Structure 1
Amino acid sequence: MTSSNTPEHIKHLARKWQEGTITNAEKQTFEAWYDSFDAIYEMKGTETREQAWERLYQNIIKKANITAGRNRTFKMWGGWLTAAAALALVFLGIYFFNTFRYQGASRRQLTSASADVLPGKNSATITLGDGRKIELSHAKNGVVIGRHNFAYSDGTPLESLSQEQKNTMLTANTPRGGTYQIVLPDGTKVWLNAESSLQFPARFNDKTREVKLSGEAYFEVAHNRTKPFKVSSKGQEVLVLGTHFNINGYDAGGVTKTTLLEGAVKITGNKDNQVLRPGQQGILEATGKINVAPANIADAIAWKNGYFIFDEETLESVMYKVARWYDLEVEYEDAEIKKQVFGGSISRYENVSKVFYMLEKAGNVKFRLEGRKVIVNKS
């Protein structure tokens, strides 16, 4: 193990990955360390899946210098992982099973290449106050709204704002299968998930900074004690001064989830209000009550970091996320299959066939693609 890959350094990178603060260079270091493990599904000889997980665990604790006991089991993707490995994963503060690897030549092909669906990409539009829409480049990943114009995050100029446009509202929209980063006039960074929209002024006034969100977004709010930042989203208002948080307010979910990573926010609903501290999640129920609970940070911001993480979720919940990112229509031939529970993680940048393959490996489910429609049934 090189000096840069000491146990202390790897644990530090794992924490940064979970918190969403890891840099691209650090991520490459961490992934290279993880990639040195044997592939989970490359089971040797007559080895069972339980034995494969045990081998993975032994590799983890050997490389990370972890000591953990064995006293219970942990269910993951329909298989069983020893508690010692689970404790190792928790100790490192990350899902080490974030990439499922298998040999393409030996695996069963779910669909033909022509029937497969590519993952989502950078895609968004900005609607100006006069109704004109500007398509943002797929080759860019962010746009910066300046005082007099806006440009891509790499500095490429995009649009000048007239004096009249500076006093209007702008709307950024991502389609199904699209994501984009928006830097607002005050320097606040916003990452929009697929099928989301953010309405904001071309220039904030002297007293407040107010935006309106539909869907899901991750915010890194520029600190300004004299100008509070407010986010209105599906029956609630979130008030902050400077902080990092995620809001998930998709209509299909039935609730609005606000997850705080750094700073403090106050959530106000129609009937309740709560203050969140770092590591907490506020869940606005349909009744108007806001429940506060410890947050699974890695789960909440997985989409921003390029992953699906399914934490004991029903197939219906899993497919909401998958369908939105791959722009699919879902049809269930057996309604009961929706209740089947899954857990695990995989990159959002795999073709959809790989996601379906892993789900099929995990449970009693099968998928059939017909264009942009996926038909789900029991296997």
Structure 2
Amino acid sequence: MKSQAKELLQKYQSALCTQEEKAIVEFYYQQWQPVTAYDLPEEELQAGLAKLDLAINKLVSVRPRSHTFWTKVTSAAAILIIAGAGAFFYLKNNNTPGGITYATDIAAGSNKATLTLSDGRKINLDQDNNSEIPTQDGSILKKANGQLVYDLSHLSSKGPEKLKQGEGINTVQTPLGGQYEVILSDGTHVWLNAGSSISYPVAFNDKVRSVHIRGEVYFEVAKNKNKPFIVHGGNQTVQVLGTHFNINSYTDEEAVKTTLLEGMVKISVSGTSATLIPGQQAQLVQNKRISVLSVNTDEVVSWKNGEFFFRDESFRANMRKIARWYNVDIDYDASAPQNLPLGGWISRSKNISEVLKMMEATGYVHFKLEGRRITVTK
């Protein structure tokens, strides 16, 4: 089977690559040198190559050619991808990663959150174990994989049909450096990014299913044409019947961004509205006019898939993502760049030093890490 990765490598060998494509290959070649590519089992190489193909499809356009060359550079790419460091950073003068100064390292964020019940009790969800949380409204199962599941079959004698909307409001809140998944009583899946929250009724027994959010939340809404799902957050309202979408309403971002992956949603604010189709994003700036544009949805939801995907957003917006996930403060020196030519991904499971080193590989930026404070310079 022909692969985009093989075609890219042949273009490099034939001196037909663009500067962007050349940077991709040379980055992987530099990273290959300390490892032995051929030690990987064939199935792992193929799995890594498949992911590389997907990334190349998104980042560059490669014309088909007969393939005669795929050796250690391709294997190196597969190794880095399997290791979760599949980043395409556009290099300046063939700089290699490194040079970061840090006194201590910081581990990645993890599954942690606080559940506030309707009676005011707060329950720490950080522990990696399965447990049942009995409440006056019903039974909640906390799973070891960072998932909270509501089961109305365990409700008290009230019964779910007698539990009114507005009764039994629960809130799940993640700290900086935390994430969590909640499965609501109607089967809707909700993923919370760091520093986010969602408030919701234990049972949806009104004409609509209404929730309130802060921060960044991804939804896979259970379909119910008779009971629309309403999300309130960032001074806007999003209405759906059943769909997949992401809302970024962090207060330190310039705009509230609602991105649709599947289905259809309607965004309303201050008497104006917009309807999205998959691949579109609504941006609301300072509670004013809604603008709609096409976006790379993989980049938008990369956090939910366990990755940082740096491509279209600004350097400082990407640094805010890092700050939330690792719970760090960022200071910018006067020499720090306003923007940075980035294009790629790296696993969110990596320590912060590994993420920063990959960004330093561009040759345009330097980081100093002391405790939980990062100083950015040129």
Tell me if structure 1 keeps the 8 A contact 2:128–2:143: no
Which residue of 88, 112, 128 maps to 1:139? 128
Distance 1:227 1:101 in 2: 42
Identify the residue that residue 202 of structure 1 maps to in structure 2: 202
Q: CA deviation at 1:121?
A: 0.2
Distance 2:251 2:266 in 1: 22
Q: Which runs of 5+ in 1 are unaligned?
A: 1-5, 11-37, 46-58, 69-73, 77-81, 88-94
Identify the residue that residue 175 of structure 2 maps to in structure 1: 175
Identify the residue that residue 355 of structure 1 maps to in structure 2: 355
* SS of corresponding position for 2:286: coil
Q: Which runs of 5+ in 2 are unaligned?
A: 6-26, 35-47, 66-76, 88-95
Identify the residue that residue 234 of structure 1 maps to in structure 2: 234
Length-normalised TM-score, structure 1: 0.70
Q: Match for 1:204: what amino acid?
A: F
What per-residue deviation string (whole Å, max 9, x for no partner) do you get for residues 200-247 of structure 1? 112222311100010011101111111110000111100011111111
Query: Higher RCO, 1 or 2 (CA under 8 Å, sep at least 6)?
Result: 2
Q: 1:137 to 1:272 in 2, by over 3 A?
A: same
Identify the residue that residue 23 of structure 2 maps to in structure 1: none
Q: CA deviation at 1:110?
A: 3.2
* SS of corresponding position for 2:242: coil
What per-residue deviation string (whole Å, max 9, x for no partner) do you get for residues 262-312 of structure 1? 111111011420111122111122252111122211111100001111114
1:150-229 paired onto structure 2 within 5 Å: 150-153=140-143, 167-229=167-229
What per-residue deviation string (whole Å, max 9, x for no partner) do you get for residues 99-151 of structure 1? 4369xxx9746356x70000000001111122211001342699999972100
Distance 1:324 1:143 in 2: 29
Q: CA deviation at 1:315?
A: 2.3
Q: 1:290 to 1:172 in 2, by over 3 A?
A: same
Identify the residue that residue 70 of structure 2 maps to in structure 1: none
Identify the residue that residue 73 of structure 2 maps to in structure 1: none
* SS of corresponding position for 2:239: strand
Q: Percent identity?
A: 38
Q: Match for 1:316: what amino acid?
A: R
Identify the residue that residue 311 of structure 1 maps to in structure 2: 311
Identify the residue that residue 126 of structure 1 maps to in structure 2: 115
Q: Match for 1:148: what amino acid?
A: G
Q: 1:201 to 1:304 in 2, by over 3 A?
A: same
Distance 1:242 1:131 in 2: 31
Count of paired positions: 307
Tell me if structure 1 keeps the 8 A contact 2:276–2:282: yes
* SS of corresponding position for 1:252: coil
Q: CA deviation at 1:336?
A: 4.8
1:110 aligns with 2:100: yes
* SS of corresponding position for 1:257: strand
Tell me if structure 2 keeps the 8 A contact 1:193–1:215: yes
Distance 1:145 1:133 in 2: 13
Distance 1:184 1:224 in 2: 14
Q: Match for 1:131: what amino acid?
A: G
Distance 1:293 1:173 in 2: 30
Distance 2:234 2:150 in 1: 31
Q: 1:196 to 1:85 in 2, by over 3 A?
A: farther
Length-normalised TM-score, structure 2: 0.70
Identify the residue that residue 268 of structure 1 maps to in structure 2: 268
Q: 1:144 to 1:350 in 2, by over 3 A?
A: farther
